[in-house]
Amino acid sequence: MTGLPSQLSQARAPLALALLCGAFLLLGACGVALGSTWIPLEQVVSVILGAGEKTERLIVLQLRLPRVVIAALAGGGMAVAGFLLQKITRNALASPGVLGVIDGAALGVVIFLAALSNESNALVTSIAYQPLAAMVGAVLGIGMVFFLSGRQSTSAVRLLLFGIAVAAVFKALVMVMMLIGPIYRTSQAARWIAGAVNEINWSEIQVTLLMLLPLLVLTFFAARRLPPADLDEVSARSVGLDLPIFRVAIFALAAGLTAVSVAFVGGVGFIGLMAPHLARLVVGRNVYAGLLGSFLLGAAMLVGADLIVRVLFSPVEVPAGTVTAVIGAPYFLFLLMSRQRHDG
């Protein structure tokens, strides 16, 4: 009898993933078709295949499709990072936003923009190096949180407190850097902090893909070891896993995924918290199904958030991060209160 729920969970995962994939594709198509000007789906497909009028090609290929693609990559990458953090810490509250990763990435990006700008506020190097700066800041952020947490790094409250503290320090440093400048395109830095997917071009998408895909491949191979990571250190060693070293590797991998994901779209919050939870509800607890489900849900969340602000607030460009924050903040409070009731 005990194996029946597990078998049912395994059986529902492929169907659930297929439905999630179909829903994401439909949402992505709506993201390209909807906006200040409605373009029928058949014309969108025609443009992607190389046909269509000049105006339609401009709207689809240069304005809408890039923001849908980068939203999918960024949302999916942050969701996978959140899945890794929640799994390795056995902490439902762990996420890139809560653990200082996103704010660390923000500090890395702003320092990059400030240090490499000249007196005319022009960037003296390629913007393609921005993800590397974000990655250094993200690793610094999560490293500080877990270093300060020490041996109690699995404590939800301790991680939360140190995450909030580190994030606050990084936010203050970001504000200082923006004030004392010079910063290449200060408006771009402000947009990055808010979290928006507009003003994205295909070269930035190419950089994101080149850095994100290897990290996702590493995540796939690391997933084979994730189930034993739920064990204590003694039990993990019995199955040949050095848990402390593995944790450090997973923390670094999650930081890298987050940094690359937000390098160009900015500090979009709460996707890494919500998507893994919803994935477990939809596809069950299989690790590989959870990873893929988290990616699809995270991608759909950010594409959907951008679609909402683009349709409701047009022609004003409202950052998509505002939608994820409005939805994610109450969800985070709900999880925190549920955790407190469970612990107390």
In a domain, 10, yes or no: no
How many residues are given for the chain? 344
In a domain, 46, yes or no: no
pLDDT at 82: 92
Mean pLDDT of 46-58: 83
pLDDT at 79: 95
In a domain, 19, yes or no: no
What does each C-alpha distance from 216 to 169, 180, 260, 292, 333 come to in angstroms? 30, 37, 11, 10, 30
In a domain, 117, yes or no: yes
pLDDT at 266: 80
In a domain, 15, yes or no: no
**How far apart are alpha carbons 305 and 280 in whole angstroms?**
21
294-315 pLDDT tens trace: 999 999 999 998 888 888 877 7
Pull the structure tokens for residue 44.
Answer: 């969108």
61-112 pLDDT tens trace: 888 899 999 999 999 999 999 999 888 877 777 888 877 888 888 888 888 8
Mean pLDDT of 225-250: 70
Residues 140 and 108: beta-carbon distance below 8 Å: yes
In a domain, 7, yes or no: no
Predicted confidence (pLDDT) at residue 48 exceeds the cutoff of 60? yes
**Nearest one of 24, 23, 42 to 33, comparing CA atoms:** 42
Instruction: Name the residue with higher pLDDT: 103 or 152.
Output: 103
Residue 206 one-letter amino acid: Q
Question: What pTM does this model have?
Answer: 0.85
Q: Which pLDDT band, with edges at 50, 70 and 90, does 227 fall under?
A: low
**How far apart are alpha carbons 258 and 138 in whole angstroms?**
7
At residue 325's C-alpha, the angle toward residues 320 and 326, to 5°, is 100
Instruction: Name the residue with higher pLDDT: 194 or 299.
Output: 299
Predicted confidence (pLDDT) at residue 164 exceeds the cutoff of 90? no
**How far apart are alpha carbons 195 and 203 in whole angstroms?**
19
In a domain, 35, yes or no: no
pLDDT at 1: 43
Range of the domain at 259: 72-343
What end-to-end distance do the CA atoms of the chain give, in Å?
32
pLDDT at 71: 93
Predicted confidence (pLDDT) at residue 232 exceeds the cutoff of 80? no
In a domain, 28, yes or no: no
Q: Where are the alpha helices (DSSP H) in the chain?
A: 3-33, 41-48, 54-57, 65-89, 101-115, 130-149, 156-180, 186-194, 202-222, 233-238, 243-262, 271-283, 287-312, 321-343
pLDDT at 180: 73
Which DSSP symbol is given to 93? T
What is the domain count for the chain?
Answer: 1
Mean pLDDT of 147-176: 77
Q: How many CA atoms lie within 13 A of 127 on its CB side?
A: 17
CATH number where 185 lies: 1.10.3470.10
For the chain, give the percent of residues with pLDDT over 70.
84
Mean pLDDT is highest, among 12-21, 94-103, 113-122, for 12-21
